[in-house]
Amino acid sequence: MTPAPPRRTAAFVAAALVALGTAGCSAPAGTSAPSPSLTSWSYSGADGPAHWSGVAPACADWAGARQSPVDIVTGELKRDDSAAPVRVDYGSTPFAVEDNGHAIEAVPQDAEAGSIELGGRIYRLQQFHFHAASEHTVDGVQADAELHLVHRAAGGEVAVLGVLLTEGEGNPALGALVDSSDAAHTAPAVIDPAALLPASGASARYTGSLTTPPCTEGVSWNVFLTPTTLSRAQLDALTGAHPANHRPVQPLHGRTVTAVRAG
Ligand SMILES: [Zn+2]
């Protein structure tokens, strides 16, 4: 006789519908529904980039999305000569090199290992890792690989330096890093990440996201437009375990990409 159980059921169903509606808000209208909750992600197939919103809603594309990577169209860059080039303060320091399941990643063993100053804010180096081919493209062209140096400020803000890597002359400063990317080699690699940066050249700067789930936005990107060259053997050592770990370029949706002069 008591109506309580039916009411609870109805309330539960209503709550579930509200929850579904909320989750659906991050998906763009008119596109396929988000994948059912995924527990893992990869770079192809049923848990590939088109389905990452099933792992992390922020990965979905919609009119207000500010995702990365993007295509850098050099003819459309907004030149800003008043913007200060990124100031890099790195040095030789030990890194633990590991395969994180999606990329070769190097984590500094000293929390004070290095920092950058970007847009008047100091960010500390958290890790760097490699994608193949490059994630950012320049005028639609992919480079052989891309290095991401990931930094965090005291307030939690994230800044990433992107370095395009192309096959060419080898980089002698990378011997320890290349050796350590071998699974059989477990000693820390003592390297100076500055050796991975191009000697000069302008940068493209914009606000985007992490390029892997959770695709968190609000990331300050500084992508050097001049590539660094590595030998084929070095590229293979750093990207051979994950030869196709790049997210496709994402729409700008009206964002400005600024050209910042060389330092
Ligand atoms: Zn990355």
Domain ranges for the chain, please list them: 59-260
Residue 18 in this model has a pLDDT that exceeds 50: no
**Confidence at residue 11, expressed as pLDDT on a 0 to 100 scale:** 38
- Give residue 2 CA to ligand 1 midpoint distance, Å: 58
**Confidence at residue 108, expressed as pLDDT on a 0 to 100 scale:** 96
Residue 3 in this model has a pLDDT that exceeds 90: no
Catalytic residue among 51, 102, 151, 185: 102
Tokens of 117: 């100053």
**Confidence at residue 13, expressed as pLDDT on a 0 to 100 scale:** 35
Q: What band does 38 get if pLDDT is binned at 50, 70 and 90?
A: confident
**Confidence at residue 61, expressed as pLDDT on a 0 to 100 scale:** 96
Mean pLDDT of 50-64: 96
- Give residue 16 CA to ligand 1 midpoint distance, Å: 35
Tell me how far apart the alpha carbons of residues 104 and 109 are, in angstroms, rounded to a whole number: 16
- Give residue 128 CA to ligand 1 midpoint distance, Å: 8
Q: Is 102 one of the annotated active-site residues of the chain? A: yes
- Give residue 127 CA to ligand 1 midpoint distance, Å: 10
Terminal Cα-to-Cα distance of the chain (whole angstroms): 79
- Give residue 129 CA to ligand 1 midpoint distance, Å: 6
Tell me how far apart the alpha carbons of residues 222 and 160 are, in angstroms, rounded to a whole number: 6
Indicate the pTM of the whole model.
0.85
- Give residue 162 CA to ligand 1 midpoint distance, Å: 8
**Confidence at residue 146, expressed as pLDDT on a 0 to 100 scale:** 98
Asked if 261 and 244 touch (Cβ cutoff 8 Å), the reply is no
**Confidence at residue 178, expressed as pLDDT on a 0 to 100 scale:** 84
**CB-CB neighbours of 187 under 10 Å:** 11
**Confidence at residue 36, expressed as pLDDT on a 0 to 100 scale:** 52
**Confidence at residue 28, expressed as pLDDT on a 0 to 100 scale:** 39
Higher pLDDT, 20 or 68: 68
Residue 147 in this model has a pLDDT that exceeds 60: yes
CATH superfamily of 59-260: Alpha carbonic anhydrase (3.10.200.10)
Which run of H or E residues covers position 87? Answer: strand 87-89
Q: What band does 119 get if pLDDT is binned at 50, 70 and 90?
A: very high
Short-list 61, 66, 63, CA closest to 255:
66
Digit-coded pLDDT (tens) for 75-101: 999 999 899 999 999 999 999 999 999
Asked if 164 and 143 touch (Cβ cutoff 8 Å), the reply is yes
Choose the weakest-confidence range: 21-30, 45-54, 113-122, 179-188. 21-30
**Confidence at residue 183, expressed as pLDDT on a 0 to 100 scale:** 63
User: Average pLDDT over the chain, rounded to whole?
Assistant: 87
Mean pLDDT of 150-179: 94
Residue 175 in this model has a pLDDT that exceeds 90: no
**What is the share, in percent, of the chain residues with pLDDT greater than 90?**
75
